[in-house]
Amino acid sequence: MTVSGGTSRFVSKKLRKLRWKPKSDSLQTSTDIFSTGSWDDEVNQVCLWKTTNTGESQLITALDHRGDVTGMCWQTSDILVTASSAGQAQLFKYEHNQLVSSQVWSDLHGSGGASCVATHGETLATAGEDGKVNVINIRQRNPVKVFEKADSCSINDIVFSRSSDILTANMRGQMKLFDLRSNKQEASSIYLLSNDQVSINCLSKHPSQGHIVITGAENGLLAVWDLRQGRHPTTILSAHKSPVSEVKFHPDQPDHIFTCSQGGELWHWNGSSIRSAGVQVSSMNASLDTTSSPWLSSEAVKHKVETTSLVTKQPLPINSVDVLGHSVLFGGDNEAFYILNNIVM
């Protein structure tokens, strides 16, 4: 089965997370291996796939996973980490062209389990519906730091904004910044989407400028934040008509972002169109040079950003999207994954 400009494969499981295996070094231009994690099944799985020269995807490894796969990220090109609705985090190693389970941290979260996971260096962090955040060194059995009451509601997503800072997003429309060097349990900063307490479902950090974050919300809106300035978004973009499932910066070309929605949409946002329009890209109180991000230009974004729908609207939710090079990987509740090649940047 082929979709326009790409390929797809039916896998008989609803997919919650999909991630390209990162490049192993800067000379490598792309990768042909990716991981998928399922949810809402009697037995969920983490699978490793390889795309062949013909464009077909070949299953390399399928491992049973306790609970739904609620979070997934590659810590390095050889280490994959998942979060589970059963309250645990699991580490897998890529060895001899296979994926093998290496370590499990159990009972990290109470009711609802872990909802997300993030990594930085040898550190990983999980957050859950219980409002708790665990910080774990992958070489140690027990968490090195626990924010027992990081939040009073469900935490939906988590990223490392820096090696010493964790940023969480919650169902009340708040982002909270936690300083790992501090002895305090409270957040060092709190950011608010709006007064309506609309849930922030997902967040993505700019690959080279950690103070720039884009979030996707329950009401379909995207918000651009500059963590250095104020407690509210720099820009709010009218996006999907249904909840945003994931938002992703392109790892090498962060003028481009990709979003998918519970309404079955997949969009490519081309921020470089702002630059080409000759719009002055500036932050709220200082002119920035040409290396600055066009996403911080509130006026420009409103009028100059090009948005392209990459697939026809799907009847079921698209839960996850990832991008590497010119290839976009996505999948969801229709029990299939898709790879779109030659995406024009």
Distance from C-alpha of 66 to C-alpha of 87, rounded to nearest angstrom: 9
Confidence of residue 223 (pLDDT cuts 50, 70, 90): very high
Distance from C-alpha of 321 to C-alpha of 323, rounded to nearest angstrom: 7
Q: Which two tokens stand for residue 30?
A: 């792309």
For residue 282, the 8-state DSSP code is B
Distance from C-alpha of 29 to C-alpha of 252, rounded to nearest angstrom: 10
Reported as a single tens digit per residue, the pLDDT across 228-275 is 998 999 989 988 999 999 999 999 999 999 999 999 999 999 998 777
Q: Is residue 287 scored above 70 in pLDDT?
A: no
Domain boundaries, the chain: 2-24+31-340
Q: In Å, how far from its chain's centre is CA 166?
A: 14
pLDDT of 176: 98
In the numeric block, the tokens 């997003």 are attached to 169
pLDDT of 344: 87
Most confident of 192-196, 215-219, 281-285: 215-219
Q: Is residue 124 scored above 70 in pLDDT?
A: yes
Mean pLDDT throughout 207-214?
94
Mean pLDDT throughout 123-137?
98
User: Which residue did the predictor score with more confidence, 140 or 299?
Assistant: 140
Quick check: helix, strand or coil at residue 247? strand
In the numeric block, the tokens 């779109």 are attached to 340
In the numeric block, the tokens 């897998």 are attached to 92
Mean pLDDT throughout 38-48?
97
Mean pLDDT throughout 60-68?
98
Q: Name the pTM for this structure.
A: 0.93
Confidence of residue 284 (pLDDT cuts 50, 70, 90): very low
Mean pLDDT throughout 97-117?
96
Would residue 298 be called left, alpha or beta, if left means φ above 0 and alpha means ψ between -120 and 50 degrees? alpha
In the numeric block, the tokens 């997902």 are attached to 202
Of the options 3.40.50.1370, 2.60.40.10, 2.60.120.10, 2.130.10.10, the CATH number for the domain spanning 2-24+31-340: 2.130.10.10
pLDDT of 111: 87
